[in-house]
Amino acid sequence: MHTPFIVALDFPSKHDVQQFLRPFSGTPLFVKVGMELYYQEGPAIIAMFKEQGHAVFLDLKLHDIPNTVKQAMKGLARLGVDLVNVHAAGGRRMMEAAIEGLDAGTPSGAARPRCIAVTQLTSTDERMLHEELWISQPLEETVSHYAALAQASGMDGVVCSANEATLIKERCGASFLAVTPGIRFADDSVHDQVRVVTPRKARALGADYIVIGRSITRAADPLAAYSRLQHEWNGGETE
């Protein structure tokens, strides 16, 4: 079982990420590689993290026609990543195709990467959902509906705000993963996030994994910030 702390390595280059990871040397992490790093460094960065013993969430949020997603997932499965994702808004057939691609690309004897679906980005609020995206249902109901659709399509879980984790567990069951970005310490800037939750509250609400980037990667002392994350997840208070 991986650690529940997924560190978002949103850096522009391998050099920057190596500098950030230096103080963590010898500590196996669960790292998230997103578009910024992957589009610069490609599959080699994944190989590097795996050699260093880290678990990898490749967060590319695929959203395209089913065949394109299937073929892309076939390739991603060969990279040996642990977790990948799609946008649930791509629909049932696209999500099923993602799983077909992962099954086809996973080397024999290896475990298929788990695949989760983004419900609504944690930077989205109710106003944006209604006025910009023209989705008329309340945000929580939309997230819950996308989670049920993702489950029916064979997904292993969803990306959502921790605020919605309880609702999702009630609807989809305890083993359906709730992977939750938008995590902030109480005294942090929220940046561009909207649906934010503290590490301690995220756990209480039922999040399986918390995704945290800038609160760690931009901290004056990232190692201390990571320890604080563990402390608060385990119920500790920070003065």
Ligand X SMILES: O=c1ccn([C@@H]2O[C@H](COP(=O)(O)O)[C@@H](O)[C@H]2O)c(=O)[nH]1
Annotated binding site for substrate: 10, 32, 59-68, 122, 184, 193, 213-214
- Chosen residue from 102, 159, 168, 225 binding ligand X by CB under 6 A: 159
- Chosen residue from 193, 200, 222, 233 binding ligand X by CB under 6 A: 193
Closest to ligand X by CB, 72 vs 158, is 158
Rounded to a whole number of angstroms, the minimum distance from the CB of residue 216 to ligand X is 8
- The single residue of 14, 61, 74, 201 carrying the catalytic annotation is 61
Separation of alpha carbons 141 and 128, rounded Å: 15
Residue given tokens 């475990």 in the structure block: 111
User: Contact region for ligand X (CB under 6 A) — 74-82, 96-104, 118-126, 137-145?
Assistant: 118-126
- SS3 category, 57: strand
* Beta bridge pairs of residue 31: 7, 56
User: Contact region for ligand X (CB under 6 A) — 69-77, 162-170, 201-209, 211-219?
Assistant: 211-219
- The one-character DSSP state at 113 is P
Is 180 among the residues that bind ligand X (CB under 6 A)?
no
Is 10 among the residues that bind ligand X (CB under 6 A)?
yes
Query: Distances in Å between the alpha carbon of 179 and those of 126, 131, 153, 163, 231?
Result: 20, 26, 17, 11, 19
Closest to ligand X by CB, 172 vs 196, is 196
User: Contact region for ligand X (CB under 6 A) — 100-108, 114-122, 168-176, 197-205?
Assistant: 114-122
- SS3 category, 29: coil
Closest to ligand X by CB, 102 vs 210, is 210
169 is catalytic: no
Separation of alpha carbons 226 and 8, rounded Å: 12
Rounded to a whole number of angstroms, the minimum distance from the CB of residue 211 to ligand X is 5
CB-nearest residue to ligand X? 213
Rounded to a whole number of angstroms, the minimum distance from the CB of residue 114 to ligand X is 16
Is 79 among the residues that bind ligand X (CB under 6 A)?
no
**Region for 199 from its dihedrals, namely left if φ exceeds 0, alpha if ψ lies in -120 to 50, beta otherwise:** alpha
Number of residues that bind ligand X (CB under 6 A): 16
Classify residue 189 by burial, with Cβ atoms within 10 Å: 0-12, 13-18, 19+. exposed
- Of residues 105, 118, 113, the one with CA closest to residue 62: 118
Per DSSP, the chain holds a count of helices (H) and strands (E) of: 11, 8
Q: Which positions lie near ligand X, rule CB under 6 A? A: 8, 10, 34, 118, 121-122, 159, 181-182, 191, 193, 211-215
Q: Which residues are catalytic?
A: 61
